Amino acid sequence: MRNWLVCLFFGLIAGNASGADFTPIAGWDRQLFPSFILGTAAVKAEPFESDDTRLGDVHGLMGISITAASNDIPVDVSVECEEFLEPSRWSGTLPEKGTTYNIYPKIKYKFDRLSQCSQATPATITYRVQVGTSDQEEVTETVTFRSINDCPIKFTDNDYTVDTSFTFATFVNEQHPYVDKLLREALDIGVIDSFTGYQAGTDEEVYRQVYALWDLLVARDVRYSSITTTAADSDNILSQHVRLLEDTINNQQANCVDGS
């Protein structure tokens, strides 16, 4: 009888101290795109999904999936990757027992490092989770940070697709130091005498301005060269390599996206 009571006592303790049984969430197919992260860092956009089971950053790409062992159970989640981000944390409670929640801490990215990611780079992400008063659990995942030139077009995962083609727009940099120099060179060729955009009032004049830039690229001997397949291709992610402006000018190569 006494032994039975002892077993029951420790069984109750084990039941109340629920462990952190969780699944890491690591980007899209364990891949992260610096171009997408940098391009959307300050954008107020609609969340990928909106429901009561998604907690933390509504635009988050890294986090955990965990099922609540009891009502209003406290959870602490941290995500770390020394090379690409500062330690990032979320603390809160899981409201409903038996419900699976996806928790995304607000990630403190090292934006300067992301902008310098010139090729696909593997990195280790460490997830630490504590549920209630249980011991902290730790899981590590290896992910790939893609090149800054890689643009995600869409991501497909079983029954849903995320359209990320708007990321192409993040490659447009009107403040690039090359812009004024190229505009000056185009004016010197003489096709037009000013760049006024749609202020000119006619479509024909807008076309002439576009042609002036095309003519400049021809004069600089920029040739068509297609690079569409990325080095770290994925069956679930459609992406394309995009040359930055300095790459196009310095290497004298462009495809339809680069030229646009």
pLDDT digits (tens, 9 = 90+) for 161-188: 889 999 999 898 888 999 999 999 999 9
Q: Which residue has the higher pLDDT, 39 or 10?
A: 39
CA–CA gap between residue 164 and residue 199 (Å, rounded): 31
The vertex-26 CA angle with 22 and 27, nearest 5°, equals 145
* pLDDT score at 206: 93
Overall average pLDDT of the 121-140 stretch: 95
Q: Which of 102, 129, 148 is the last residue of a domain?
A: 148
Q: Which amino acid, 217?
A: L
Q: In degrees to the nearest 10, what's the CA dihedral of 197, 169, 37, 254?
A: -110
Does 242 lie in the same domain as 123?
no
**Does residue 74 sit in the same domain as residue 135?**
yes
Q: Residue 201: its pLDDT value, please?
A: 85
- Average pLDDT across the chain, whole number: 87
User: The pTM is what?
Assistant: 0.81
pLDDT of the residue at 119: 93
pLDDT tier at 59 (50, 70, 90 boundaries)? Answer: confident
Helix (H) or strand (E) holding 256: helix 256-259
The confidence band for 8, taking pLDDT boundaries of 50, 70 and 90, is very low
Cα–Cα distance, 111 to 115 (Å, whole number): 6
Residues 141 and 30 in one domain: yes
Q: Which of 7-11, 26-30, 43-47, 215-219 has the lowest mean pLDDT?
A: 7-11
CA distances from 125 to 32, 81, 89, 155, 160 (A): 12, 5, 13, 21, 25
Report strand pairing: 121-131 vs 22-26: unpaired
Is residue 185 in some structural domain? yes
What pLDDT is attached to residue 260?
64
Asked, for residue 209, whether it belongs to a domain, the answer is yes
Q: Between residues 81 and 17, which one has the greater pLDDT?
A: 81
Predicted pLDDT at 18: 52
| pLDDT for position 162 | 87
Cα 80 to Cα 132: distance, rounded to the nearest angstrom: 21
What confidence tens digit (pLDDT) does each residue in 202-259 have? Answer: 999 999 999 999 999 999 998 888 765 666 667 889 999 998 888 888 888 888 787 6
Strands 121-131 and 137-145, by their bridges, are antiparallel
* Cβ 216 vs Cβ 186: under 8 Å: yes
Q: Which of 131, 148, 165 is the last residue of a domain?
A: 148
Say yes or no: 190 and 120 in one domain. Answer: no
* Cα angle 76, 81, 85; round to 5: 90
In this predicted model, which residue has the larger pLDDT, 217 or 44? 217
Within-domain flag for 9: no
Q: Is residue 172 part of a domain?
A: no
Task: Please give the single-letter amino acid code of residue 119.
Answer: Q
Report the pLDDT averaged over residues 30-39: 95
- Name every residue whose Cβ is closer than 8 Å to that of residue 221 and which is 6 or more positions away in sequence: 252
Q: How many domains does the chain have?
A: 2
Q: Could you tell me the CATH number of the domain that includes residue 43?
A: 2.60.40.10
CA–CA dist 160, 190 (Å, integer):
51
- Specify the pLDDT at position 230: 63
Cβ atoms of 125 and 26 within 8 Å: the answer is: yes
- Is residue 4 one of the residues assigned to a domain? no
162 is a domain residue: no
Domain that holds residue 243: 177-259
What is the per-residue pLDDT for 52? 86
Strands 31-32, 137-145: pairing kind: parallel
Amino acid letter, residue 45: A
Cα 226 → chain centroid? 24
Q: Looking up tokens 């590590």, which residue turns up?
A: 140
**Residue written as tokens 């609540």?**
68
